[in-house]
Amino acid sequence: MAKSWGEHLVDEEPRGRKFADFKSWLRGAVLLGATWLLLRNYIAPMPSATNSRCPQVEPLVLRSTKELEIMEDYLKSGTFKNKSIERLSGAVQIPTQSFDDLGAVGEDPRWDIFYSFASYLSKTFPILHATLQVEKINTHALLFTWPGTNPKLKPTVLMAHQDVVPVPDSTVAQWTHPPFSGFFDGKNIWGRGASDCKNQLIGILEAVEVLIEANFMPQRTVVLSFGFDEEISGQEGAHHLARFLLKRYGPHGVAVIVDEGAVNIESWGKNWAIPGVAEKGYVDVDVTVRMPGGHSSIPPEHNGIGVASELITLIEANPYEPSLDDENPYLSLLYCGAEHAPTFPKKLKHLLHKRSHQSSTCAKKNKDTLALEAAKAGPGIKYLFTTSMAVDVIHGGVKTNALPERTEFTVNHRINVGSSSKAVFHHITSLAGQVAEKYNLTLTPFNGTETPSSIMLSARDTLLEPAPVTPTSSSENRTSPFAVLAGTTRALYGEDLLVAPGIMTGNTDTRYYWDVSEHIFRYGPGWDKEQIGLGNIHTVDERVGVQGHVDTVRWMVGFLRGMDQAEL
């Protein structure tokens, strides 16, 4: 007859030692289990190929012909490099500045410089102009169409803008080389627009022209869309272009859009391409303080300028907190860093693991903690997931001996992904209400009413909610535009370069194209590893490295070919 478990303990000798051994084993098992549960919460497991949060696309292999192979060799040659330098330098020399106070197109003569730029492009790219359909939208916006052989395929749209930020006369002497010289120093091309973004515009045109010369016949229609007032919000250029394309191709009738945007970077011990797949929102809030005037020899304790200053101080003292919404691409980049980067911060990795395994009760606390920790990397990172606000313009008073009756200032906001203009309006209304109550002023927020002794808030018509987020995943049997972009990038720069979703703090002309395509990327593919940042855009000594520019052309060629053979 079999003995029970208890009988075995009674029969075996020595009884006390055996029972002690069992208790010791049991304590060890409990301790081991508890240790594992603890470590599981602090150590993020290495993802497998099947559960990767940041899978990397293989470098894209393109179908080729002898003529395309010859073209590829030509793009690597000194002959092409020299021609490309000449073309970009010439484009920079045309001062296509867009000013905030420009009048109507056709009436303000400062728009006329864009006639000169269009003429330059026509002379510089004669083959492209002879092959593609050229249309001018609202006088100066340029639309080029290269019809594909398969009209069932949605087109590819490449974008750039013709205009540049003005160069103040007071800064001209500070430039190493004159701002519209297009000077080439053997490595860089200098001048306003060299890196924002005539380099991308010229690179796109060069790519299309060499493809035409190589007898490439696209199956998928290629569209080039170049606005002319992006630096002043694009309402005359991109706005009209987007409406034109929407009418021609229908809602989401375009397969993919690539515009200027984020550049390749080095971070956490790895090189990254981070094409922007989202944009923050935008709103300018005008604040008007109305208070009684009078002679300045009998001043009140606080006049309108003083009250406005107090409100500005209160606004700056109450910034928005960092917040990483689930849809914010920077969160995806963090997961990519945790998975692939050798020097990714351990604390961030721990917080990411907690976030991915959190319960609903502690979700907000974990999200906030992660955002605050990630924000320690500096303002350039923090404002990728924080609503920003900056007082950029102020006016008040008309005479030294007269009290100001009307003081105005403007607060520029860039709205975080996951937030909205409504949240911004609530925040600034709350702050303005505190000052209004203190000085017995009427508060009229966002209703168009202006009264004496009041603080009025109003939003400009450039209001923009955060952009829809471009999908970055692929189905089992279809390739996504993001995969084509990633594969093109890794084919050009090698598999050591990782690709992850990105976001920028600013906005591009794509703000008008949301209904044209759901696949929008803001990406500057030219990579000059020795040039840190964006090449001094919007400031003195703007420039671009020639090798980065040549790589822009090579990337555009590869991307157009990749989209042409993609099953979309």
Strands (E), 191-308: 222-227, 256-262, 265-267, 270-273, 276-279, 281-290
The answer to whether 196 is annotated as binding is yes
The answer to whether 161 is annotated as binding is yes
Taking a C-beta distance cutoff of 8 angstroms, is the pair 162, 227 a contact?
Answer: yes
Give the Cβ contact number of residue 541 at 10 Å: 17
The answer to whether 528 is annotated as binding is no
The answer to whether 541 is annotated as binding is no
Residue from 206, 209, 229, 230 carrying the catalytic annotation: 230
The answer to whether 538 is annotated as binding is yes
284 is catalytic: no
Taking a C-beta distance cutoff of 8 angstroms, is the pair 159, 257 a contact?
Answer: yes
Q: Which of 153, 152, 154, 156 is nearest to 144 (CA)?
A: 156
Cβ neighbours for 158, distance < 8 A, ≥ 6 positions apart:
204, 222, 223, 224, 225, 257, 258, 556, 560
Extract the tokens encoding 220: 């998928």
SS3 content of the chain, % helix, strand, coil (to 5): 40, 20, 40
Alpha carbons 179 and 198: distance in angstroms, whole number: 14
Look-up of token digits 């630096």: 231
Question: Between vectors from CA 279 to CA 94 and to CA 135, what angle results, nearest 5°?
Answer: 40
Residue 394 CA to its chain's centroid (Å):
28
Compute φ and ψ for 227, nearest 5 degrees. Answer: -75, 180
Q: In what order do the strands lie in the sheet with 406-415?
A: 388-396, 406-415, 281-290, 454-459, 442-445
Active-site amino acid positions: 163, 230
**Binding site per annotation, positions for Zn(2+):** 161, 196, 231, 259, 538
